[in-house]
Amino acid sequence: METWTREQWETTLTEETSTAAFYLYTPMCGTCAVASKMMEVITVMRPEIPIGKADLNYVQTIAIDYEIESVPCLLIQKDGVLIHKIYAFQSVPYLLEKID
């Protein structure tokens, strides 16, 4: 999973024929550590889907603009529209269902 800037995420929003996900975390969050492992599995299972990650401490304007309530958070867009904002990373199959 590649580390993205806000600009890279917003570029995926302009590509209206694709699905993409942006994983937001903080390094001291224990739940984020578990979610990070789940996201690594997903990137291996779905290499065709662009998935980026960012430490929310370095992209704070995203927290404000997207009204991020907590971490971990997964933003999923399809056809240029944000369709999911996920906070509860229940399982890998659950996340794959949301991304597909």
pLDDT of residue 17: 63
Number of domains within the chain: 1
Residue type, 55: D
Residues 47-97 pLDDT 10s: 999 999 999 999 999 999 999 999 999 999 998 889 999 999 999 999 999
pLDDT > 70? residue 100: yes
What the block records as the tokens of 50 is 């662009």
What the block records as the tokens of 90 is 């229940």
DSSP reduced 3-state for 8: helix
Residues 10-60 pLDDT 10s: 888 887 668 999 999 999 999 999 999 999 999 999 999 999 999 999 999
Cα–Cα distance measured from residue 1 to residue 22, given in angstroms and rounded to the nearest whole number: 10
* CATH label of the domain that carries residue 6: 3.40.30.10
- Chain centroid to CA 46: 14
pLDDT of residue 18: 82
Cα–Cα distance measured from residue 77 to residue 80, given in angstroms and rounded to the nearest whole number: 6
pLDDT of residue 16: 63
Host domain of residue 54: 2-99
pLDDT > 80? residue 4: yes
Q: What is the C-alpha end-to-end distance of the chain, expressed in Å?
A: 17
Which helix (H) or strand (E) covers residue 78, if one does?
Answer: strand 73-78
